[in-house]
Amino acid sequence: MADSLEKSVHIPELYDLNHRHDNELHNAEKYKENILARSLSKNIYQNDKTAGFLYLLQPMVVQMITSNVILRNWFNWTVSKYYDRHNN
């Protein structure tokens, strides 16, 4: 939906030119599934209670990161406010 709104605001040829490599970019959506598993030690996940707690904590950590992406884009006028495919 955001793409259609953004596409309708811009000139279609320029929009297509600016977004022709979007499929080739680094896909940052994969961090939402296992950010804590990649960030924390594997020894923490050996305890079942701790692993269950971290599993419940995962959506909150993802929400904090997602909200920071919007804030990051707020001051970067060259990208859309909801752009979340940054490489770093």
Encode the chain in three state secondary structure: CHHHHHHHHCCHHHHHHHCCCHHHCCCHHHHHHHHHHHHCCCCHHHCHHHHHHHHHHHHHHHHHHHHHHHHHHHCCCCCCCCCCCCCC
C-alpha distances in Å from residue 12, one per residue of 20, 23, 54, 84, 85 = 12, 18, 44, 22, 21
Q: What is the mean pLDDT of residues 4-32?
A: 72
More confident residue, 53 or 6: 53
Name the percent of the chain lying above pLDDT 70.
Answer: 72
Q: What is the pLDDT of residues 25-68, one digit of tens each?
A: 555 567 788 889 989 999 999 999 999 999 999 999 988 887 77
pTM: 0.55
User: Does 18 have pLDDT greater than 80?
Assistant: no
User: Does 24 have pLDDT greater than 70?
Assistant: no
Retrieve residue 5's tokens.
């709104």
CA distance 61 to 72: 17
pLDDT on residue 85: 62
